[in-house]
Chain A
Amino acid sequence: MSAIVNLRVFRNFQQFVSIRPISNYPTSFRKNEEIQKVDGDDEFRSLDLSPNKSLNMRSYGRKVYKRAAVHPPRSNKMPTDQDWPSVWPVARSFHPASVPLPLHQGWVVPGATPPGKFANAELMKIPNFLHLTPPAIERQCQALKKFCTEWPKELNTNEKIENHFPITITTSDYLHSSPSLRDARARIVTLQLKLSSLKLDSHAKDKLLRLVKERYNPETDVLTIVSERCPLRKQNLDYAMYLLNVLISESWKTEPWENEKCEADMEKYVWEGSQSQRTVEQLLQRMPDREKAMPEVIEQYARNVTRFHNEGEDAEKISDYKESVKKLLGLQA
């Protein structure tokens, strides 16, 4: 009776009658049988110069313990309507006798069947998600629901959340098996907020950006403050908040020496209050007849001058500048 036939017959009884396990599940019984067979077939007794240790021990009357019968894989006994999350409740490495699936895994020559689940290291190497079946997840979520509170109804959109709670604080907890349950990285606190939510004016914003330097990301408009100098998370959090407070109140201040800033100190060209503006005004006073057609022309001139200074010099900008100067002076070419 082959092992496969065996399986088919006794599936109904969820049990094996014969204790011989299925084929790729080697036992010591079979090994003994083979040894005996070989011994019996030998026609001549061979002189054994280095006697087999185990046989030797046996002949000296060492007690040989009887091995208990090995169970067939328990997957054979599993009913089809069993509660799988109870059988495989947590993550563990694959075990063929506990998983009632006809799995195959491993590389073989094309056309052949990959090896079965028994004694298959390939199946043990890969992580399995047998503990995370949809019913298991659903059940765990139901069990955890009683610890969750409802999300505030007023905060139903992302805009509202950002408006009411602009600051994000990020911390990490670390859990690993080691003698110590402390981890120094847990102290680090990261504070983030959108600069637009602070409603700063241009002076304050300019000053804040000078103070925070690379901590501001102009692409996302997010200011990030990382605090890790204090030993405890609470201290770091307080420090980050303190930094934010100081930064904002500092940027709203205008120091007396800030008024001493002259045109040469500007980081970019600004038309208002510049030497060019004054010159144009003086020029216009001398040409009262052209005054009524001026506003657009002056504005265009101002834009071109600013661009010329801020964006650098090239042929196009020079020609633009030339055009606006011509218009301003009323030259016809």
Chain B
Amino acid sequence: MSCPNLNSLIVQHLFKNGRFHSVWKSGRPVVTNRHSFSSEAKEIVIPKYIPRGPTDILEALASTVKRDPTGPHYKFHDDPYLIPASSHAKRTYALAQEAGRKAASWIKQEHADLFNQRNAEPFIEAFSPVEKLTETTPMTEDLLKKYIRTSQVANAIHVYGKLDSSEISSATKQSFLEFISFYNEEDQLSEELIEERWFRSGVKGMRDQVKSTWKSNGLAERIFSGLDTITPEAYHALICGMVKHGQAVGAWEHYNQMLADGFQPDLMTYNSILKISGIIREDGEYIITLINDILTSMAHAGIKPDVRSLNAALQSISRMPITRVAREKASRLMSDFKSIGVQPSLGTYTSLLKIFCRDKGPRSNILIDIVRRIEIEMPPIQDVEDVTFFSEAMKNCNYHLDDVQLAKRLHSLLSSSQNQVFIGDSYKESVYYRSFLLLLSRAEGPEAFMEMYRHLVPHIYTPEQNVFENVIKSISSSSAIQYVPELWSDARYFELSERDSVLEALLEALTCGSGPDPTIVVDKNDVDPVLATARAIMSHVNQVIKTAEEKDRTISLRWTGSMLGNLMKVFLQYGDLDSADEVMMKVNQLKNQLSSYFPLATLNIFVEKCIERQNSATALMAIDYAAEMGYENVTTMAQRISEQLKLDEKQQQKLSSILSNAPTPSETS
């Protein structure tokens, strides 16, 4: 090879090192120098570079990781002390973490002079302190534009107030009007405060009815009326802002005014009016007429409605009181929009569920068709209402259809990684999982249910008190006593262990077993988990009551007769007579303070056991209680005791005094 070949050689080298994608991608075969390597006549074909985005590799690696059911959400630390279980703890931990971030950004803002190093490359504007508005800041239109661009509402309003409104260009005025109409003249919660938004939106989601928050006669309306020439864009901004913030009547007035002025509304404005047509018209027929009118005028104006128009119209229809009319109109709309090629989004399905599945209406299987459709193709997120679908659908599965298979299909749809965004916020998430767990607890067998339960609880969802009670009841009704110890532990972690209804349910569940299982307890030192649970519950309740008394705090937790009765039953079943005696002492000590009666059957068994053991002291306590409560067979019990137990002098006296005080059966009846 001589030197003129070198250039071709260098070109080859660029291929080899692959740094020049433009060369690589060409996929041009390299012709080798035949005289230098004559035996090689074949062409070397270098495959084309496979194009990939900057995060594709990371996404591919992330796809190898599935959810870890025993691990906490990634925002928490993976450490037993820092993993929250109760929903209260989850909220506190997440918000505490964010509060730290907030404090840091506050310091950055307050002591902006300390953060003047600009060694970042490339420089990131968001990380530097925001410039403060002071007395000396020159008020210019550019400053106003900047605040609009960076969505700082209060500052923008301040600057606007200082500026002479006649000097502001009409374009800036229009964008300022749009800006304050959109934000309703209020600064929004920062986009960076993810947790706060997640937990706050839950509170807002409770209200189905849109509350009017629009500032009447506020700055937006004043700017609008102060405009020299009123443009259709100004109308659009004001109407959309009013609808967004729940001022339906005002929006409707401005809409009519706009039509009277001869302006043409745009798609957004039409969508807004469609959204409020269910509010401004009360009666079903009028709503339909209004929707028809709007859609016709859109067709005349040559504006093609989109999926948001469909969602807005369906939302209005879902407010209609008569189900039959609403169903007909919704079906018509769906087929009409389908014929013009508008694909429904998840928000559409939410409205359909609301229209077709009313609480008191007939059963509708529409959800089955919807799930079948989105299993084939998941529509992308397009509307604000899209995130409400899954909680609504799961509610529907639970309360309307009662179909566990459908619920599982729905859950597998949500579980895929790209659909996680559809869960919405903390409130919708808890509605979703509450419905799911309630349905599962009703419909599934204990093994299958507990498998799903362990998968969801506690890291995805913490059951509320009533859901947890339902879970315990379903476990106890299927006599799956082996799961009760686990549920008791969970009750501790979810901070539900001081609720008397939960404890009642747990103790009820503990008695549903058939006694000790010899396969679990092999060693003499081992304790059967059910018995251990009963002991743990007893000591826990005693402890809680004791600390409350010491600290002089009022709590709702009290021993009740049925709780102690169930405890006694378990102890007798498992042959732990010392603990049974302890329960009896508790009963004897509280007596009348117990809110429900200690069951007689258990008392009888206990007395039998006492006779077997020749334990006269506790037997007397039982008799004492029975006499106090006026049970009918006190006398027979007392006779058995006096016959079969050796009683000393004192005990004899006590027994006779109890019997003399006790009402005879004839008296009670």
Contact = CB atoms under 8 A, between A and B. Distances in A.
Interface in B480-526: 482-483, 485-486, 488-489, 492-493, 495, 520-521, 523, 525-526
B70 A87 contact: yes
B68 A87 contact: yes
A74 B60 contact: no
Interface string B444-476: 000000000010000000000000000000000
A77 B70 CA distance: 7
B324 interface: no
Contacts of B406: none
B142 interface: no
Contacts of A97: 78-80
Interface stretch (B40-48, B328-336, B580-588, B634-642): B40-48
Nearest to A180: B121
B121 A68 contact: no
B78 A95 contact: yes
B114 to A, nearest CB: 15
Nearest to B64: A139
Interface string A142-162: 111011111010110000100
Given A83-B68, A140-B64, A18 B6 contact: no
Nearest to B525: A5
B486 A71 contact: no
A154 B525 contact: no
Nearest to A237: B19
B64 A136 contact: yes
Contacts of A86: 65-68
A182 B123 CA distance: 12
B79 A95 contact: yes
A9 B79 contact: no
Contacts of A166: 9, 13
B536 A17 contact: yes
A69 B80 contact: no
Interface stretch (B227-235, B527-535, B591-599, B645-653): B527-535
B367 to A, nearest CB: 31
Interface string A104-147: 00000000000000000000000000000000100110111011
Given A9-B526, A146-B60, A149-B48, A16 B78 contact: no
Contacts of B12: 164-165, 167
B1 interface: yes
B15 interface: yes
Given A8-B526, A10-B529, A12-B520, A147 B60 contact: yes
A70 interface: yes
A70 B6 contact: no
B574 to A, nearest CB: 14
Interface string A1-44: 10001001110111111110100010000000000000000000
A13 B529 contact: yes
Nearest to B485: A17
Nearest to A73: B80
A165 B15 contact: yes
Interface stretch (A240-248, A263-271, A323-331): A240-248
Contacts, number: 178
B493 A180 contact: no
A249 interface: yes
Name the residue in B3, B36, B84, B527 with the highest tally of chain A Cβ atoms < 10 Å from its Cβ: B3
A45 interface: no
B2 interface: yes
A78 interface: yes
A238 to B, nearest CB: 10
B19 A149 contact: no
Given A72-B80, A97-B79, A167 B30 contact: no
A83 B485 contact: no
A143 B64 CA distance: 7
B85 interface: yes
Given A165-B15, A171-B19, A17 B64 contact: no
Which of A85, A147, A252: most chain B CB closer than 10 A?
A: A147
Contacts of B15: 165
A74 B533 contact: no
Contacts of A143: 60-61, 63-64
Most-contacted residue by chain A among B36, B56, B81 (CB, 10 A): B81
B475 to A, nearest CB: 13
Contacts of A169: 13, 17, 19
B89 interface: yes
A103 to B, nearest CB: 17
Contacts of A68: 84-86, 89, 493, 495
B226 interface: no
B83 interface: yes
A98 interface: yes
Contact of A180 (B17, B40, B120, B529): B120
B179 to A, nearest CB: 32
B149 to A, nearest CB: 25
B52 A147 contact: yes
A261 to B, nearest CB: 22
Nearest to A72: B80
B47 A152 contact: yes
A89 interface: yes
B190 interface: no
B71 interface: yes
A154 B533 contact: no
B418 to A, nearest CB: 16
Given A83-B68, A147-B57, A163-B36, A70 B10 contact: no
Given A68-B89, A83-B68, A198-B3, 19 more contacts: A8-B526, A9-B521, A13-B486, A15-B486, A68-B86, A72-B80, A85-B64, A86-B66, A89-B65, A98-B78, A146-B50, A155-B44, A165-B15, A167-B13, A179-B121, A181-B121, A197-B1, A198-B6, A244-B10
27 contacts: A5-B527, A9-B520, A12-B520, A17-B485, A17-B536, A69-B493, A70-B80, A70-B81, A72-B80, A74-B70, A78-B70, A87-B68, A146-B60, A152-B45, A160-B40, A163-B36, A163-B37, A164-B32, A167-B13, A168-B16, A179-B119, A181-B121, A199-B2, A199-B36, A244-B6, A245-B6, A248-B3
Interface of B: 1-3, 6-7, 9-10, 12-13, 15-17, 19, 30, 32, 36-37, 40, 42-50, 52, 56-57, 60-61, 63-68, 70-71, 78-81, 83-86, 89, 119-122, 454, 482-483, 485-486, 488-489, 492-493, 495, 520-521, 523, 525-527, 529, 532-533, 536
